[in-house]
């Protein structure tokens, strides 16, 4: 038997879904992402959201200004879609390179989604414009109908919204973000090349039991919420399969401790300090380290029609302790796996 390697060198990966926030929180969380990933698709759900070319350019400047000297990191900006988005603004932003993709939040599906889409007919002109441009639409795939069980919201979204939308606009290029269910894995696997999906690190390692183990665990609450263990196993098979339709998107989503440990806590798991290491751990456990580079550094660029990165990153099989908290005072955040070991770390 061939022993698994103790170090692995990959092309530098990209994070195709991350929340970098703004201000003090941006300064605190950005180094974790920039150290590991060469590029990242930056979510636009600030308050107010990033809805115009001008705000995207301003936000990108603040991200660049927050980078350490010499950091090699490129933020790829997204536009928050509303019922009133002007297709001209999107087309202009895409042609100028201010926007890489458009993000669709169904209204009230998650954090800061109150300006999101309420009427799919009203966004058809934008979706037709994206189709013509070949510009990706990134979808938070959950229905918000309160009658639908929280754990079924992704599967019902595929049935009620995504299926009909794909039939109406088969050439629209869609990324179904942070998939959590067997249904999503099957739906994306069976789709054509215009459909892809991102998979988070946390959904590869926790199921819904973890959210309630020993009492409610607010730091494991995110949306879409983790599902059954059979779903987690389907996600692991998809991620490690080598299928180019699946790629890395951490959905690292920091919230300060008081916003998580509250009577009504925010959704979001802050994985940036250890997500790449956890993906490596998972691929190692699945005997698929030889497929990690495709998932982390090749499949995403291929879908986004960008060149893969030329730089390299090395990970080492050597346990590293994740800090119990990161940041200061009221801005501190509890990272995923806080106070626990991850079995891989970045080489110096």
| Paired tokens of 205 | 């390692």
Residues between 38 and 57 with contacts to ligand DOR, criterion CB under 6 A: 45
Residues between 2 and 21 with contacts to Zn ion, criterion CB under 5 A: none
Of 19 and 60, the one with the shorter C-beta distance to ligand DOR is 19
Please report how close the Cβ of residue 114 comes to Zn ion at its closest, in angstroms: 15
Q: Does 227 bind ligand DOR (CB under 6 A)?
A: no
Q: Does 222 bind ligand DOR (CB under 6 A)?
A: yes
The Cα–Cα gap between 308 and 292 comes to 14
CA atoms within 13 A on the CB side of 241: 16
Q: Does 18 bind ligand DOR (CB under 6 A)?
A: no
Please report how close the Cβ of residue 267 comes to ligand DOR at its closest, in angstroms: 4
Alpha helices in 146-218 (DSSP H): 153-157, 163-168, 182-190, 202-205
Of 111 and 240, the one with the shorter C-beta distance to ligand DOR is 111
Q: Does 267 bind ligand DOR (CB under 6 A)?
A: yes
The Cα–Cα gap between 334 and 327 comes to 9
Catalytic residue, candidates 14, 15, 231, 251:
251
Calculate the CA 300 to chain-centre distance.
12
Of 178 and 291, the one with the shorter C-beta distance to Zn ion is 178
Q: Active site includes 86?
A: no
Of 304 and 336, the one with the shorter C-beta distance to ligand DOR is 336
Q: Does 140 bind ligand DOR (CB under 6 A)?
A: yes
φ, ψ of residue 170 in degrees (nearest 5): -65, -20
The Cα–Cα gap between 40 and 73 comes to 8
Q: Which of 223, 235, 239, 278 binds ligand DOR (CB under 6 A)?
A: 223
Q: If binding means CB under 6 A, how many residues of this protein chain bind ligand DOR?
A: 10
18, 250 Cβ separation under 8 angstroms: yes
**What is the residue whose two structure tokens read 């100028």?**
96
160, 189 Cβ separation under 8 angstroms: no
The Cα–Cα gap between 268 and 334 comes to 11
Q: Which of 110, 180, 181, 194 binds ligand DOR (CB under 6 A)?
A: 110
- Angle, vertex CA 24, rays to CA 23 and CA 26, nearest 5: 65
Residues between 201 and 220 with contacts to ligand DOR, criterion CB under 6 A: none
Of 184 and 288, the one with the shorter C-beta distance to Zn ion is 184
Residues between 218 and 277 with contacts to Zn ion, criterion CB under 5 A: 251
Please report how close the Cβ of residue 222 comes to ligand DOR at its closest, in angstroms: 3
The Cα–Cα gap between 281 and 53 comes to 39
**What is the residue whose two structure tokens read 């037709």?**
128
Residues annotated catalytic, as ranges: 251
Chain residues in the site for ligand DOR (CB under 6 A): 19, 45, 110-111, 140, 222-223, 253, 267-268
């Amino acid at each position: 038997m061939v022993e698994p390697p103790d170090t692995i060198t990959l092309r530098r990966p990209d994070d195709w879904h991350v929340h970098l926030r703004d201000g003090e929180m941006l300064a605190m969380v950005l180094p974790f992402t920039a150290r590991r990933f060469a590029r990242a698709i930056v979510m636009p759900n600030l308050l107010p959201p990033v809805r115009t070319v001008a705000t995207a350019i301003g936000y990108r400047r603040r991200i660049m200004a927050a980078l350490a000297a010499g950091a090699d990191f490129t933020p790829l900006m997204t536009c928050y879609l509303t019922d009133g988005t002007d297709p001209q603004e999107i087309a202009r932003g895409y042609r100028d390179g201010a926007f890489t993709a458009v993000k669709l939040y169904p209204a009230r599906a998650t954090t800061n989604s109150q300006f999101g889409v309420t009427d799919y007919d009203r966004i058809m002109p934008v979706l037709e414009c994206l189709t013509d441009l070949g510009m990706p639409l990134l979808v938070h795939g959950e229905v918000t109908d309160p009658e639908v069980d929280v754990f079924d919201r992704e599967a019902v979204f595929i049935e009620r919204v995504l299926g009909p939308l794909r039939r109406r606009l088969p050439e629209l290029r869609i990324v179904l973000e942070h998939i959590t269910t067997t249904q999503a894995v099957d739906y994306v696997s069976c789709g054509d090349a215009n459909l892809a999906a991102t998979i988070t690190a946390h959904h590869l390692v926790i199921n819904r039991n973890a959210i309630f183990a020993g009492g409610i665990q607010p730091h494991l609450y995110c949306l879409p919420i983790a599902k059954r263990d059979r779903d987690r196993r389907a996600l692991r098979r998809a991620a490690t399969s080598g299928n180019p339709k699946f790629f890395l998107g951490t959905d690292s989503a920091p919230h300060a401790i008081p916003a998580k440990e509250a009577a009504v806590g925010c959704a979001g798991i802050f994985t940036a300090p250890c997500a790449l290491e956890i993906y490596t751990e998972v691929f190692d456990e699945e005997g698929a380290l030889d497929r990690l580079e495709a998932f982390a550094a090749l499949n995403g660029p291929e879908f986004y029609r960008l060149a893969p990165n030329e730089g390299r990153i090395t990970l080492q099989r050597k346990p590293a302790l994740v800090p119990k908290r990161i940041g200061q005072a009221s801005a501190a955040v509890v990272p995923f796996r806080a106070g626990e070991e991850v079995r891989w770390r970045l080489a110096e």
